[in-house]
Chains A and B, each alone.
Chain A
Amino acid sequence: MIRLLLAVLLGVLALPTLAQDTMPPAPYAYNQLEDPRLEAEASALMHTLRCLKCQSQSIADSDAPMAGDMRHQVRSRILAGESPAEIRGWLIARYGDYVSYEPEVSKSTWPLFAVPVLVILVVAGVLLRRLGKRRNEGDGAGETA
């Protein structure tokens, strides 16, 4: 009886796995390209593309079927002669900046790049003024002495 209950319980626990397909992965999902140079290019690109299903992994790190299908796209496009930048552009045209882990200057991200430069300029300005003041005071002190 306990065994039966346990079996039913385990069966119910395993239900979510039914929500995955049982199809074999796409040809280039788990197979590397033969040319090591091309595979290195593809791999570098795959590490900077976000898995859309798992959200905090790159497609190189994810075992989600959709990530496999995205790896297949990347590898087969590299094999067909497309550059990594073109493939990234193709995906961004479909999913927005979200799909790329590579920081890019765009309409919504430019403050991220501008603010540090601004802060450094302000700090440099303040420092120069203060140091300048102190030197002047020092000079003044020297003169009186």
Chain B
Amino acid sequence: MGKRLWLWAPLALFAFFAGLAGYMLTQDKDEFVESEMIGQPLPDFALPAAFDGLPGASKADFAGSPKLLNIWASWCLPCIAEAPQLEALKAQGVEIIGIAIRDRPADVANFLGRYGNPYSRIGSDRISEVQLAIGSSGVPETFVIDAKGVIRYQHIGDIRESDVPKLLAELEKAQ
């Protein structure tokens, strides 16, 4: 009898894996690729101005105090959604340095004219060079950089109202 029961084991195993696969299909997929550069210093870079109104951005601009590095683009729709939150962070005294990915000066100026300009500087990254160097895999993404230029925190996707306190806390931690 014991041996008979054992014959069912392969079928039970198969049913278990089939069930597991079915269950996993109903689960949300984690689409985020996190940067492995947290805790690492910013790589050296110097980007030209993204449009006439603001200077470009380089690693040296992050010295002195913790700042936000915002990876964005005028062609990116979620960037419109996060614009008010960047304004709110700026109103709290946060300095935000932008890097515009694959963007044109006229489009950048147009976007800022429409949705506000929370940036102190914007570098133009026409071939995603700096984006790849810091391990960012999309727009928008926001990094907390401490006063020594070390990457402390990465926020993937647009900043919602509920994300603002977390970012402020991470900036405080980076003091």
Contact = CB atoms under 8 A, between A and B. Distances in A.
Contacts of B37: 93-94
Interface string A103-120: 000000000000000000
Given A19-B77, A26-B127, A96 B36 contact: yes
A72 B127 contact: yes
B65 interface: no
A144 interface: no
Interface stretch (B5-13, B54-62, B101-109, B110-118): B101-109
A23 interface: yes
Interface residues on A, range: 20 to 34
B128 A52 contact: no
B138 A21 contact: no
A135 B33 CA distance: 57
- Nearest 8 pairs of A and B residues by beta carbon: A94-B135, A69-B128, A26-B127, A52-B137, A21-B102, A23-B102, A21-B75, A69-B127
Interface of B: 31, 33-37, 73, 75-77, 101-104, 126-129, 131-135, 137-138
29 contacts: A18-B75, A19-B75, A20-B75, A21-B73, A21-B102, A23-B102, A23-B104, A26-B126, A27-B127, A52-B33, A52-B137, A52-B138, A53-B137, A55-B31, A65-B128, A66-B138, A69-B129, A72-B127, A73-B132, A92-B36, A93-B36, A94-B35, A94-B132, A94-B134, A95-B33, A95-B36, A96-B33, A96-B36, A98-B33
